[in-house]
Amino acid sequence: MENEELFSEEYDKKKQEINDLLERFLPKEEGYTKPLAEACNYSIRAGGKRLRPMLLLETNRLFHGKMVPEAECLAAAIEMVHTYSLVHDDLPAMDNDELRRGLPTTHKKFGEAIGILAGDALLTAAMQTAMLAFRNSADPHIVSWSVKTLFDKAGMDGMIGGQVVDVLAEKREESIDRGKLDFIYEKKTGALIEAAMMIGCWLAPESRKKDLLIIEQVASKIGLAFQIQDDILDVEGIEEVLGKPIGSDYRNAKSTYVSLLGMETAREDVKRLTGEAVSLIAPYAGKDSFLVQLLIHLVTRDR
């Protein structure tokens, strides 16, 4: 219990640091575009785990001992990308969700048109913010690779690609086998987690290409376990804790790890993938490091 409390305190502290960091990059709410800025800032300030920027910063600290200046811009940028994807996911044409983190979704609060534009604006702001990393960099090539990695993992070969396969499968009412489900999860959820940890690693001057490949494997396994845990929580979670309705996958007849393979197998896969990820990163971090505890927390969470 004591270790859990210490982790929780440290997690909350780091999360607040990221919230403060994000505030520095948010658009000003003024002029004719004030309603759009308000919608963007509402979407960011609605909260969340701040998982992706935290993984980026903590991986950077793991290899460098402290955070390099470039990491701040890229951490803010990756959270903007993640948030824009949620804003668009919630739209009527997609998941048509009315609640996100216990609050009205962006399009429910500001209207569908502003919801679409807020997502567009956050994606654009992510690129602008990521480019600021060049100002503080002693090695522009590393920053260039990092920015490219972020948007590669967010694009057609990453997050958006997974979303497209998911949407098309639903619209055609196709049955999904495990191979296709793995593809959707690895791209839709795992790709940005991979980007976060890979960028954090590569921005550290001490890291090597071998380290990057191992970190990508760690992130891939954790990303898949993270999404399977989401499937489990959609069945067994508590709505007030999750901040969104449970059972939506079942009501929408959506294929998940639980529906396809059963709850027991889903739990076993989460445990196996987490164990493999921890074993890979332990030689770098040690089993009691904050980063390792964070990875374990992500796949044992109740929200």
Higher pLDDT, 240 or 297: 297
Contact between 172 and 245 under an 8 Å Cβ cutoff? The reply is: no
Q: What is the pLDDT of residue 4?
A: 80
Report how far apart, in Å, the C-alpha atoms of 204 and of each of 35, 105, 139, 197, 286 are.
39, 37, 11, 11, 18
With pLDDT > 90 as the criterion, what percentage of the chain qualifies?
71
Please tell me the CATH superfamily of domain 2-298, with its number. Farnesyl Diphosphate Synthase (1.10.600.10)
Within the chain, residue ranges assigned H as helices are: 2-23, 34-45, 51-64, 69-89, 106-110, 112-131, 140-154, 159-171, 178-188, 190-202, 209-236, 239-242, 248-251, 257-261, 263-285, 290-298
Q: 63-111, pLDDT tens digit by residue?
A: 988 889 999 999 999 999 999 999 999 999 998 999 898 899 999 999 9
Taken in order 175, 249, 263, 218, the sign of the CA dihedral is positive
Q: What is the mean pLDDT of residues 178-194?
A: 94
Mean pLDDT of the chain: 90
Residues 116 and 196: their CA atoms lie apart, in Å, by: 25
Distance CA 229, CA 296 (A): 12
pLDDT in tens, 101-111: 889 999 999 99
Residue 104, SS3? strand
- Helix, strand, or coil (residue 216): helix
Tens-digit pLDDT profile for residues 243-293: 445 555 544 557 788 888 899 999 999 999 999 999 999 998 876 689 999
Confidence of residue 242 (pLDDT cuts 50, 70, 90): very low
Give the three-class secondary structure for 100.
strand
What pLDDT is attached to residue 174? 66
pLDDT tens readout for residues 132-167:
999 978 899 999 999 999 999 999 999 999 999 988
75, 61 Cβ separation under 8 angstroms:
no
**What tokens does 254 get?**
């959506």
pLDDT(187) > 60: yes
Calculate what percentage of the chain has a pLDDT beyond 70.
91
**Which one has a higher pLDDT value, 145 or 237?**
145
